[in-house]
């Protein structure tokens, strides 16, 4: 019982009550009436039963996102909102850097997820993926042929795996989002080339961000560089606007000749997160409803930053503070 009380904060987070305390938006009711449900949770060996009397804790839906769904209107953030984004993106970067230290053969992605969750709570953050449309974990971990939205599990990482860790945290009303792909132990030259090219795709796209650029142009830059190395670009998933909403306008496709709407203006905040594949770009989703994989079973890599459009270019809000901002994999090459 002592351990349960000492770790009550962890239980508080998983129960959904922490969402309400922070005003977290993923608590909007999916239905107009209340339902009664029981949630069973293990907290350090103790079975806790929580009676949920509101479907909001089960739906995992953002009412504000639902309201904005389908709109192409891109919010221009004011100075206060921009500072809120700087703070949350710095916290998200800290969490990813902690997860990066755990990547090695024998570690499970569930262990990484647990560390991510604790790193969030230690920073008074909520892990945005947790219960987002019922996603069951605090981060996404995508191994080898998994393109994105992989669910952390108990499979030990193996030598030669490549692993993407996608972190989003919610703090003081704002979301910060980033991801990186890591090498697990020693990897083959093909993996190095794929990951290096994917990172270059992201950074070349970022170099073009400035007022007046159409969002659709980013896909042309990314696909040109990916195809030069005989890689393909995933089409089913895209970058997105982010601030008080986890996902909102603009949509930012990563492939060429897309029909994205909008022109960059100072105060826009959005992500670029290209997913690049060794083989074909076609994907499929596992029965869990989340895990997106390459249809041909070949590997995929991804990198992501949250960006602020400035008067003259852009600010990488999720930039790494160490090693001159370079991604972690570069020190593994």
Task: Give the alpha-carbon dihedral of 233, 146, 268, 205, to 10 degrees.
Answer: -40
Tens-digit pLDDT profile for residues 185-194: 999 999 999 9
240 labelled ligand-binding: yes
Tens-digit pLDDT profile for residues 272-288: 999 999 999 999 999 99
Asked whether the CA dihedral 31, 131, 254, 251 is positive or negative, the reply is positive
22: pLDDT strictly greater than 60: no
235: pLDDT strictly greater than 60: yes
Contacts of 302 (CB under 8 A, 6+ apart): 142, 147, 148, 164, 166, 179, 181, 198, 273, 274, 275, 276
112 against 22, higher pLDDT: 112
In this prediction, residue 23 has a pLDDT band, given cuts at 50, 70 and 90, of: low
Query: Is there a contact between 209 and 264 (Cβ–Cβ < 8 Å)?
Result: yes
81: pLDDT strictly greater than 50: yes
Strand partners, 293: 146, 284
Which among 97, 276, 111, 123 has a CA at the least distance from the CA of 204?
Answer: 276
273 labelled ligand-binding: yes
> How many CB atoms lie under 10 A from the CB of residue 40?
8
User: Can you spell out the DSSP letters for 194-255?
Assistant: HHHHHHHHHHHHHHT-STT-BTTHHHHHHHHHHHHTT-EE--S--EEE-SSSSSEEEEE--S
Calpha distance 196→17 (Å, rounded): 41
177 labelled ligand-binding: yes
166 labelled ligand-binding: yes
Q: For the chain, give the mean pLDDT.
A: 88
Find the mean pLDDT for residues 203-212: 99
Tens-digit pLDDT profile for residues 297-318: 999 999 999 999 999 999 999 9
In this prediction, residue 45 has a pLDDT band, given cuts at 50, 70 and 90, of: very low
What does pTM read for this prediction?
Answer: 0.86
Residues above pLDDT 70, as percent of the chain: 81
Tens-digit pLDDT profile for residues 143-181: 999 999 999 999 999 999 999 999 999 999 999 999 999
268: pLDDT strictly greater than 50: yes
Burial class (CB in 10 A: 0-12, 13-18, 19+), 206: middle
Calpha distance 216→137 (Å, rounded): 32
Burial class (CB in 10 A: 0-12, 13-18, 19+), 322: exposed
Query: Is there a contact between 238 and 222 (Cβ–Cβ < 8 Å)?
Result: no
User: Can you spell out the DSSP letters for 154-193?
Assistant: SPBP-TT-EEEEEEEEEETTEEEEEEEEEE-SS--HHHHH
Calpha distance 277→144 (Å, rounded): 10
In this prediction, residue 260 has a pLDDT band, given cuts at 50, 70 and 90, of: very high
175 labelled ligand-binding: no
In this prediction, residue 69 has a pLDDT band, given cuts at 50, 70 and 90, of: confident
Domains (range + CATH), the chain: 63-331 (3.90.230.10)
304 labelled ligand-binding: yes
H/E stretch holding 100 = helix 79-100
């Amino acid at each position: 019982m002592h351990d349960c009380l000492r770790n009550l904060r962890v239980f508080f987070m998983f129960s959904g009550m922490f969402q309400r305390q922070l005003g977290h938006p993923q608590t909007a009711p999916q239905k107009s009436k209340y339902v009664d449900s029981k949630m069973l949770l293990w907290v350090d060996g103790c079975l806790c039963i929580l009676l949920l009397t509101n479907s909001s804790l089960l739906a995992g839906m953002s009412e504000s996102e639902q309201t904005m769904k389908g709109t192409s209107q891109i919010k221009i953030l004011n100075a206060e909102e921009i500072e809120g984004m700087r703070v949350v993106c710095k916290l998200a970067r800290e969490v990813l850097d902690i997860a990066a230290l755990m990547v090695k053969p024998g570690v499970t992605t569930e262990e990484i997820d647990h560390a991510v969750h604790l790193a969030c709570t230690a920073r008074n953050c909520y892990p945005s993926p947790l219960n987002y449309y019922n996603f069951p974990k605090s981060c996404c971990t995508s191994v080898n042929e998994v393109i994105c939205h992989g669910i952390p599990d108990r499979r030990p990482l193996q030598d030669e795996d490549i692993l993407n860790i996608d972190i989003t945290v919610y703090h003081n009303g704002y979301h910060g989002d980033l991801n990186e792909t890591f090498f697990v132990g020693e990897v083959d030259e093909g993996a190095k080339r794929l990951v290096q090219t994917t990172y270059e795709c992201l950074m070349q796209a970022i170099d073009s961000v400035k007022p007046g650029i159409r969002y659709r142009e980013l896909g042309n830059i990314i696909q040109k560089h990916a195809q030069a190395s005989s890689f393909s670009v995933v089409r089913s998933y895209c970058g997105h606007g982010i601030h008080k909403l986890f996902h909102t306008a603009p949509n930012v496709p990563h492939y060429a000749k897309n029909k994205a709407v909008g022109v960059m203006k100072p105060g826009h905040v959005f992500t670029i997160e290209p997913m690049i594949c060794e083989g074909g770009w076609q994907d499929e989703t596992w029965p869990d409803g989340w895990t997106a994989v390459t249809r041909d079973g070949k590997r995929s890599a991804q990198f992501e930053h949250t960006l602020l459009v400035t008067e003259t270019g852009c600010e990488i809000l999720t930039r790494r503070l160490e090693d001159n901002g370079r991604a972690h994999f570069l020190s593994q090459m």
